[in-house]
Amino acid sequence: MKLYADIRKPGKKRNFMIYGHFIEHFHRQIYGGVYDPDHPLSDEEGLRKDVLEAMKRIKVPILRWPGGCFVSAYHWKDGVGPNRTPFFDKAWRVEDPNSFGTDEYISMCQKIGCEPYICTNAGTGTAEEMSDWVEYCNLDHEGKYAKWRISNGHPDPYKVKYWSIGNENYGFWEIGAKSAEEWGSLVEEAAKMIKHVDPETELTAAALTDVEWNINLLKHSGKFLNWISIHDYWDPIHETNDFANYEACMVYTEHVEDSVKKVRGLLEALGLEKKIKIAYDEWNLRQWYHPCVHSVEQGITKEEYLYPRDKNDINAQYTMADAVFTACFLNMCNRNCDIVGMANFAPIVNTRGCIYTHEKGIVLRSTYYVFDLYVNYLGDQIVDSWTEDVPVKNMSVAKETESVKQADVLVTSFSNRSGYAVAAINKQAEEELELVLELQAEGQVILHYISGESTEAYNDIDREMVTIQHEELGTFQSGMSVRLKPHSVNIIQILEK
């Protein structure tokens, strides 16, 4: 396979926020995950230091919180101040102790060094409640909510720039679901009130690839919005936990761009593509496992609806299939950086996350190392490129067969130094792929990659099968070939010393 690039054109600069993450009050993501006050590895505020360090290593740029479905019945005022009362979380049907709230979340973001991104309650909440939250976080001292923050020991405003109005309010499963017309009106009022509190906020609102929903949303609120939010999970297993195999996951890689194409087309048709960007603020290959909750008939016993969630924590499930898919998604976001300005892997800790916590430490799953590669080795400018002789194979999912390209390649350059970095994904399960670099470049070639002994390689406690490997390949010459291991994610750097 041959790779070409047009280095004469200036590259499109991607927004680093496409490497963002998400965390929700679900199962062990918060409690027993990032927040565990009684754990010996936690700091004075109850935050797991090993988790924070892992998040800093992949330079998490933005972290969405507190939901997710959780937020649509969450009242933020009950989660600040000294008097916290546990409440029943109607989304996930568990008691939440309310000990991790806005102040704890902001402190976590400050320690990580990331932008906070707060999703508001547009289910049972009101436009006023949403704007009160902005008062608490962003006003200097005016009004009772800024004064409340100060009395809680936080004299300086948090200056939270990014706010989402609602989660998946289009879905019947969401607490406080809305019709398209109801949604447009609510978002308009909430956005107006939030902007009256802090005009510098950037706002997004829940959307999907439905024309009627988006037209109503944008007709009412397009003047206020900076972003439009979409979510996708490609492996639909929230009721079964029956993971798609490697071949099926490779079929899914052919569809990572579908929603972006549809939403881009709508924004362009309305003349909003220069004003409103896409925030892909929940995404992952596989749906979270939570049977008998997002259904009309609810589970009765905890054995039916609660205890099965522990199966999200089986590390053997998170293999090179997840890693390869994740890399393909990030390549797509980079290629569409003119319209996709943010993406949030869902979640970052536990459940389907790239970090798993246990009593003695953490496990970094295969997807973690994809973010490590892209954040620390890839360039920030997207170069026009194309490939020839890409192998294609017929592959199947759910009894349907598709032609799947067996490679995904992206060329980047750096805004702060000379050189190039090529993200090259070999989707083939068993065969190496020879990539011929027909590029005009100079420098030393270094290959950084993850693979594993098989497509089923995974990491677990005292078991590390997937890590970043490094190889020095010598001085670059046009026409140089690089052999990519099967089922691998690779960054090929060509850098002048």
Size (the chain), residues? 497
177 or 496, higher pLDDT = 177
What's the confidence (pLDDT) of residue 375? Answer: 98
Domain with CATH 3.20.20.80 in the chain: 13-377
What are 457-480's pLDDT values in tens digits? 999 999 999 999 999 999 999 999
What are 329-338's pLDDT values in tens digits? 999 999 999 9
What's the confidence (pLDDT) of residue 8? Answer: 79
308/319 Cα distance (integer angstroms): 21
What are 207-250's pLDDT values in tens digits? 999 999 999 999 999 999 999 999 999 999 999 999 999 999 99
383/386 Cα distance (integer angstroms): 10
**Who's near 96: CB < 8 A, 6+ residues apart?**
25, 70, 86, 87, 88, 89
What are 347-370's pLDDT values in tens digits? 999 999 999 999 999 999 999 999
Cα–chain-centroid distance for residue 178?
25
Fold type of domain 13-377: TIM Barrel (3.20.20)
Segment 267-271 shows an average pLDDT of 95
User: Which residues are bridge partners to 409 per DSSP?
Assistant: 424
Which is the CATH superfamily of the domain at 3-9+381-495?
Golgi alpha-mannosidase II (2.60.40.1180)
Domain with CATH 2.60.40.1180 in the chain: 3-9+381-495
User: Is this structure's pTM higher than 0.95?
Assistant: yes
487 φ/ψ sector (left φ>0, alpha ψ -120 to 50, else beta): left
Interhelix angle 211-221/258-269, nearest 10 degrees = 40
| Residue located via tokens 């970052």 | 348
Long-range contacts of 127-132 (CB under 8 A, 24+ apart): 127/186, 127/189, 127/190, 127/192, 127/193, 128/193, 129/75, 129/76, 129/77, 130/163, 130/165, 130/190, 130/193, 130/194, 131/190, 131/193, 131/194, 131/196, 131/197, 132/77
Segment 282-291 shows an average pLDDT of 98
Residue type at position 159: K
Segment 14-43 shows an average pLDDT of 98
Among 4, 2, 9, residue whose Cα is nearest residue 382:
9
